[in-house]
Amino acid sequence: MASPFSLEGKNAWITGAAYGIGFAIAKAFVQAGVASIIFNTSNEASMLKGLEAYKEAGITNVHGYVCDVTDEAAVKALVEKIHAEVGRIDILVNNAGIIKRIPMHEMKREEFQQVIDVDLVAPYIVSSAVLPEMMERREGKIINICSMMSELGRETVSAYAAAKGGLKMLTRNICSEYGEYNIQCNGIGPGYIATPQTAPLREKQPDGSRHPFDSFICAKTPAGRWLEPEELGGPAVFLASHASDAVNGHILYVDGGILAYIGKQPK
């Protein structure tokens, strides 16, 4: 009997999966038996680096493309290309994302807009390009990578929080609008994960001590540590597989307990 968590025979497109969280999710999908991984990056160098990383991990059923997720025409063209070169898209993970850490009153409108475009408008663009085929087959899984900032705010991340809060509601709306087609759209809200995006928050200080944000996050997390990208693999497999067919419009926070915790009292 097939496991309800099996992804056998499924093709999964993970945006921005050359490294970081997307790459870790791709590895978990391969372990769950996925037929093909499709990923795209914003530039050629990143795509080639990604292909090399998949090769090193012994993953051969992978297709890498260059496509900026904010470019609607390019996304539509890529969907056509994927259909021709790989086949149908069973699972979409909207993972590509950026952050700009700038105090809001100093942030230029274009900088704010760029974050909104990549983190919120692009999931609309990519999902819209993939939905018609899923509607026709009456089956599909969309996973949006949300954030702690879908729930919480902090200094310097206004555009990111606005985008990720919006992505939470886009997730619920895709569920509301397309649930009748047997399409499930859920979100994963990662806590603080050690990836290139968060590397500046973990950099050692000139005197060799820990970055204050690094200590702050460990104190805010019951697990007492940063999480590894691979720890998002199991939750992603769950939301991509038949095991979650009755779960729709849900944001699964994978945060080591941050949202449940008031924080450690100072010594």
Q: Which residues are catalytic?
A: 160
Q: Binding mask 48-77 vs ligand GCO (x if CB under 6 A, - otherwise)? A: ------------------------------
Nearest to 246 by CA among 189, 190, 186: 186
Q: Tell me if 170 sits within 8 A of 120, measured CB to CB.
A: yes
Distance CA 143, CA 112 (A): 24
19 binds, among ligand NAP, ligand GCO, none (CB under 5 to 8 A by kind): ligand NAP
Provide the 8-state DSSP code for 35: S
Please report, as residue ranges, which positions from 99 to 128 form the binding site for ligand NAP (by CB under 6 A). 118
Q: Name the residue nearer to ligand GCO (CB basis): 38 or 193.
A: 193
Distance CA 242, CA 38 (A): 20
217 binds, among ligand NAP, ligand GCO, none (CB under 5 to 8 A by kind): none
What would the two tokens of residue 157 be? 């991340």
Rule CB under 6 A: say whether 31 interacts with ligand GCO.
Answer: no
The count of chain residues that interact with ligand GCO, using the rule CB under 6 A, is: 14
In angstroms, the Cα distances linking 60 to 15, 27, 101 are 18, 11, 36
- Bridge partners (DSSP) listed for residue 41: 66
> Quick one: which of 7, 149, 159, 162 contacts ligand GCO (CB under 6 A)?
149
Using CB under 6 A, which of the segments 53-61, 67-75, 151-159, 203-211 binds ligand NAP?
67-75
3-state SS assignment for residue 25: helix
| Residues engaged in binding ligand NAP (CB under 6 A) | 15-16, 18-22, 40-43, 46, 68-70, 95-98, 118, 145, 147, 190, 192-193, 195-198
